[in-house]
Chain A
Amino acid sequence: MSDLRDLYQEVILDHNRQPRNFGPLETASHKADGYNPLCGDRVTVYLQIQDDRIDDVRFDGAGCAISTASASMLTDVLKGRSLEEARAVFDAFSRLVTADSTELNLSDADRELLGKLLVFQGVCEFPARVKCATLVWHTWSAALSQETDAPVSTEE
């Protein structure tokens, strides 16, 4: 039970129950669809970007608790950030959820960037679930390059 609580922390369950910034963004300048064919998780990320700054970000879709909470918290953390900062968060988040806990090497600056996203550290102990946490981030990254035609997949 205790290692399950490392994965399903209260913050994650809360974002799963009440996702923030959920629903389409009519004024989106960028948008991408993400899909994990293995589990059927779907997410769409909408971005309003001006002068290299994310003025607004929303998502919709359906998926497991990890993917829903990850999407909800992405919108919380990235709203108002510069694209440069947002890319740094993406990089730190990727290392957070994929690293073996013994080799995880985050600087103080990384930790500050990640903020509440640090609750996803438990995901790295559940290799089958890493893709659930990263789907929305890959989708966000695809939206930046406006790759909106082909759905993004976490499967190669």
Chain B
Amino acid sequence: MLTAHERAEGGALDSKSDRRATFDVAAIRADFPALDQEVHGKPLVYLDSAASAQKPRAVIAAMDSLYLHDYANVHRGVHELSQRATRRYEGARDRVRDFIGAGDSREIVFVRGTTEAVNLVAQSFVRPRLQPGDEILITGLEHHSNIVPWQLVAEATGAKLVVVAIDEHGAVSADEFAAKITERTRFASFAHISNSLGTVLPIEAMIAHAKKAGVSVMIDGAQAVPHRHVDVRALDVDFYAFSSHKMYGPSGIGALYGKASHLEAMPPYQGGGEMITKVSFEETVYNDIPHKFEAGTPNIGGAIGLGAAIDYLNGIDFDQLAAHEESLLAAATTQLVDLGGITVVGTAPEKAAVVGFVIDGVHPHDVGTILDREGVAVRAGHHCAQPVMDHFKVPATVRASFGCYNTMDDVVRLVAAVEVCREVFR
């Protein structure tokens, strides 16, 4: 029998269908209780969604209802609660499959987040294929989580990390990428969208170049999935990873898509319960994919929260969302530049809703404090992308990032708060 919540989850699309007609940002804001508060005596303006996004009531309610009614361990019990928890957990996997256009739920591995997904692929798929002198290809705008796991396997095998340079706008050229592919290239991994600059990479062309050379590809989609539709089969990508917490779901959970043929051929990443079918002291038979990669009791509540976040996003028209975020990005960029004495860092032609900037004579860390006192939450720092900061010769930037709930009023408040910074430092 379906629980009340399972029925609600099944019907989520219908109940949200009115959101598709027009992009109603006021209605969306009302879904996010945390936005409705004052910080330092001023209404909160949350411009740090690229670090982590706020959560809609539907996500909080889905996790609540699990713990209030349906919680038990998954894939183990014959009892009713375990059956319900398992149905909801596997239901979330099916939602992830549909959300990114995968054909088969077995190709969806639940992980802690994008970072764990990259480490899994690096250790389990790439490392066994590497010989000394082999090359792994990344780009100059990667997050540390798409650099360090490759350095670890390179160090262990004698392989080399090869980096495709970014240009002065923070863009990556598919031709430059193609030029770096050699007969020693064994794997390529790059972001769909840069976390620090907002640059959208030409991933279709980059994947095509890699395919032509027989090189498998992983995409770090952490910054992409909250903003645009992803279709892993249309991309014909080997691996695609993202985190739940940047797409309005809970933290500590994410998903790795991998082609079934790859996942089946890969050795397990971690050992334990859940990932086996038979264990004796002489021999262990591993479970089928994806469970082979999910050792131990998984993040059940997290997965169900992620499923609810997908339902929520499915109720939003992504084309309208993209147009809305683009208008916020354009307004924020223009108004900041018009103030004078401000440099926008990252001006690639195609960008997601991220503005990185520095104010002449004011360190980003001081800007972060002053904006916070004005009620405006931004990230100030190196954004776990120190090589990008080095490229632009800045120690850090201020990053304002927009999500589905941000408004033109938020842009006005950001610009006013930046003026306060300049007043303090006059």
Interface residues of A (CB under 8 A from B): 1, 3-5, 7-8, 13, 38-41, 62-66, 68, 126, 128-129, 132
Take A39-B365, A63-B363 as given contacts and tell me if A3 and B382 are in contact as well, using a CB distance cutoff of 8 Å.
no
Residue B267 lies at the interface, judged by CB distance under 8 Å to chain A: no
B379-406 toward A: CB 8 Å interface, digit per residue (1/0)?
0111000100100000110000000000
Kindly identify which residue among B363, B382, B395, B424 contacts A4, using a CB–CB cutoff of 8 Å: B424
Which residues from chain A contact B363 at a C-beta distance below 8 Å? 63-65, 68
Residue B131 lies at the interface, judged by CB distance under 8 Å to chain A: no
CA distance A64 to B364 in the complex (A): 7
Q: Which of B348-401 contact A (CB under 8 A)?
A: 362-366, 369-370, 373, 380-382, 386, 389, 395-396
- Smallest CB separation, A93 vs chain B (Å): 20
- Smallest CB separation, B376 vs chain A (Å): 13
Residue B420 lies at the interface, judged by CB distance under 8 Å to chain A: yes
Query: Which residue on A lies nearest to B365, using beta carbons?
Result: A64
* Top 5 A-B residue pairs of the complex, sorted by shortest distance between their CB atoms: A64-B363, A64-B365, A40-B395, A39-B365, A65-B366
Which residues from chain A contact B281 at a C-beta distance below 8 Å? none
B195-212 toward A: CB 8 Å interface, digit per residue (1/0)?
000000000000000000
Query: Which residue on A lies nearest to B381, using beta carbons?
Result: A39
Kindly identify which residue among A1, A3, A40, A66 contacts B366, using a CB–CB cutoff of 8 Å: A66
What would 13 more interface pairs be, CB under 8 Å, given A39-B381, A40-B389, A40-B395?
A1-B420, A1-B423, A3-B373, A7-B369, A13-B424, A13-B425, A41-B395, A63-B363, A63-B365, A66-B365, A66-B366, A126-B369, A129-B365
Q: Which of B411-426 contact A (CB under 8 A)?
A: 420, 423-425
CA distance A68 to B366 in the complex (A): 11
How many residues of B sit at the interface, in one of the four size bands? 10 to 19
Query: Which residue on A lies nearest to B361, using beta carbons?
Result: A17
- Smallest CB separation, A100 vs chain B (Å): 18
16 contacts between A and B (CB under 8 A): A1-B420, A1-B423, A7-B369, A8-B366, A8-B424, A13-B425, A39-B396, A40-B382, A40-B395, A41-B395, A63-B395, A65-B425, A66-B365, A68-B363, A129-B365, A129-B369
Contact B370–A4 (Cβ < 8 Å): yes
- Smallest CB separation, B359 vs chain A (Å): 12
- Smallest CB separation, A16 vs chain B (Å): 8
CA distance A14 to B386 in the complex (A): 29
Query: Which residue on A lies nearest to B421, using beta carbons?
Result: A4
- Smallest CB separation, B419 vs chain A (Å): 11
Take A41-B365, A64-B363 as given contacts and tell me if A8 and B381 are in contact as well, using a CB distance cutoff of 8 Å.
no
Query: Which residue on B lies nearest to A37, using beta carbons?
Result: B382
Contact A39–B425 (Cβ < 8 Å): no
Kindly identify which residue among A8, A62, A132 contacts B425, using a CB–CB cutoff of 8 Å: A8
Query: Which residue on B lies nearest to A132, using beta carbons?
Result: B365
CA distance A132 to B305 in the complex (A): 37
- Smallest CB separation, A120 vs chain B (Å): 14
Which residues from chain B contact A8 at a C-beta distance below 8 Å? 366, 424-425
Kindly identify which residue among A4, A13, A64 contacts B373, using a CB–CB cutoff of 8 Å: A4
- Smallest CB separation, A72 vs chain B (Å): 14
Contact B369–A128 (Cβ < 8 Å): yes
CA distance A1 to B363 in the complex (A): 18
CA distance A40 to B196 in the complex (A): 15
Which residues from chain B contact A129 at a C-beta distance below 8 Å? 365, 369
CA distance A41 to B395 in the complex (A): 8
CA distance A136 to B72 in the complex (A): 51
CA distance A151 to B423 in the complex (A): 35
Which residues from chain B contact A13 at a C-beta distance below 8 Å? 424-425
